[in-house]
């Protein structure tokens, strides 16, 4: 009798294939729920990063103004800041260049948002230095 009990214990030490599949399904379900919760936060953080970048560019433009006595023209754009005031031209979090306009003697820096085109709502809305 003792011999039979020992052999059954040896057989039951591992997990069955069904148990492994159930555990993997639970892990996949938890991972998908976490991803669904985090995706909106990712877009929000990209918008926040664009606002920080625009603020940095405006500060570089202020330093340019202090040094040169005027802001770069719209035609010269942000390229006038490189390399003396900015190490390189920044791109927005969606990998599009920031737009620079000299409007009424004041610089305006903006990102067209996720869609990369003027206008839009939500994540596609423009982010402008006018609003900061």
Among 77, 55, 36, 62, residue whose Cα is nearest residue 127: 55
> pLDDT tens, 80-92?
999 899 999 999 9
User: Where residue 22 sits, what CATH number does that domain have?
Assistant: 3.30.700.10
Per-chain mean pLDDT for the chain: 87
Total count of domains within the chain: 1
> pLDDT tens, 3-53?
555 555 555 667 788 888 999 999 999 999 888 888 878 888 999 999 999
| β partners of residue 60 | none
- Domain holding 99, by residue range, is 2-131
How far apart CA 111 and CA 131 sit, in angstroms, is 12
Q: How far apart are the first and last CA of the chain?
A: 81
**Lateral strand order in the sheet of 127-128:** 99-103, 106-111, 127-128
């Amino acid at each position: 009798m003792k011999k039979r009990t020992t052999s059954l214990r040896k057989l039951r030490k591992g997990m069955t294939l069904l148990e492994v599949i159930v555990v993997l399904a639970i892990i996949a379900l938890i991972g998908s729920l976490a991803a669904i919760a985090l995706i909106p936060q990712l877009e929000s953080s990209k918008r926040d990063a664009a606002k920080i970048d625009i603020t940095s560019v405006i500060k570089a433009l202020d330093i340019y103004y202090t040094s040169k006595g005027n802001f770069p023209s719209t035609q010269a754009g942000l390229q006038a800041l490189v390399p003396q005031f900015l190490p390189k031209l920044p791109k927005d979090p969606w990998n599009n260049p920031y737009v620079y306009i000299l409007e009424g003697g004041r610089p305006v820096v903006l990102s067209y948002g996720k869609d990369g085109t003027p206008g839009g709502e939500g994540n596609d809305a423009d982010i402008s230095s006018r609003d900061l």
